[in-house]
Amino acid sequence: MNLSFHRGDPDETVLENYHRFCDAAGFAFDSLIASAQDHHTEIRRVTKADCGIGIWRPRDRESVDGLLTDQPGVTLVTYYADCVPLYFLDPVHRAIGLAHAGWRGTVAGMGMKMAEAMERAFGSKPEELLAAIGPSIGPCCYEVDQPVAEAFAAKMDWRPENFIKNGGNGKYMLNLWEANRRALLCAGLLPERISIAELCTQCHADLLYSHRASGGKRGGLAAFFALKEASACQN
Ligand SMILES: [Zn+2]
């Protein structure tokens, strides 16, 4: 199901897809808040007052690649079609973050910036965060040109030898999962608290939207992330 409003489907069709997905997965349609992604690293803290933005209310900002909240019942939504979804959970302060990281966001340190933003907003300690790196283009398929490879090679403290391979002819294979994992380790996250889905969008273009596999003729995947409302059985 296409969950992007900007890929050629009528808005009412995309909204119907949101309703169907929310019903199936247990999210409240009214609770959704979408990003406004432009491959930068702006992060926005949202609350219930922001619900609907980018879905059933107009966008009110130009550049939001990361969302965070500590309010249960607020569903963060971000978009993908090869780029990397980064999920963050602080189980101590009960807060979440969700960030979009393509190669530009990854090399600009989106993961580290989200960890810092959660610390500022909620007092989250990096070593207490759980992080997940979601489905996105894998090291099997992600070929890049020299300028992109050089931008990552300059991140010496991320140990780029672990995620860039020279393929010859000025082409390089880039492992965005490992680059993001290394960035999160540098931010102070613990290796045992970082999960990688290891699901490549281009290899699984029958199930997932892949910008590269489709040559740009595609819909949009969305990541959803919310804290549950406290249940009665906790009392
Ligand atoms: Zn692949």
DSSP secondary structure letter of residue 52 = T
Rounded Cα distance between 114 and 133, Å, is 13
**What domains does the chain contain, in order, with CATH numbers?**
11-137+176-229 (3.60.140.10)
Does residue 58 come out as left (phi exceeding 0), alpha (psi in the -120 to 50 range) or beta? beta
Give the pLDDT score at 6: 86
How many whole angstroms from 84 Cα to the centroid of ligand 1? 13
How many whole angstroms from 90 Cα to the centroid of ligand 1? 30
How many whole angstroms from 139 Cα to the centroid of ligand 1? 7
Rounded Cα distance between 141 and 146, Å, is 16
Give the pLDDT score at 193: 98
Q: Rounded to two decimals, what is the model's pTM? A: 0.95
Give the pLDDT score at 232: 60
Largest interatomic CA distance in the chain: 63
Give the pLDDT score at 230: 73
- Please say whether the beta carbons of 79 and 151 come within 8 A: no
The token pair at 121 is: 């907003």
DSSP secondary structure letter of residue 82 = S
How many whole angstroms from 213 Cα to the centroid of ligand 1? 10
How many whole angstroms from 136 Cα to the centroid of ligand 1? 9
How many whole angstroms from 204 Cα to the centroid of ligand 1? 7
Report the candidate in 196, 143, 150, 190 with the shortest Cα–Cα distance to residue 167.
143
The token pair at 99 is: 């960030």
- Please say whether the beta carbons of 42 and 78 come within 8 A: no
Helix (H) or strand (E) holding 174: strand 171-174
Give the pLDDT score at 235: 45
pLDDT in tens, the chain (235 residues): 999 998 999 999 999 999 999 999 999 999 999 999 999 999 999 999 999 999 999 999 999 999 999 999 999 999 999 999 999 999 999 999 999 999 999 999 999 999 999 999 999 999 999 999 999 999 999 999 999 999 999 999 999 999 999 999 999 999 999 999 999 999 999 999 999 999 999 999 999 999 999 999 999 999 999 999 876 665 4
How many whole angstroms from 17 Cα to the centroid of ligand 1? 26
Helix (H) or strand (E) holding 22: helix 11-25
How many whole angstroms from 199 Cα to the centroid of ligand 1? 8
How many whole angstroms from 60 Cα to the centroid of ligand 1? 35
Rounded Cα distance between 149 and 26, Å, is 40
Residue 76's SS3 state is strand
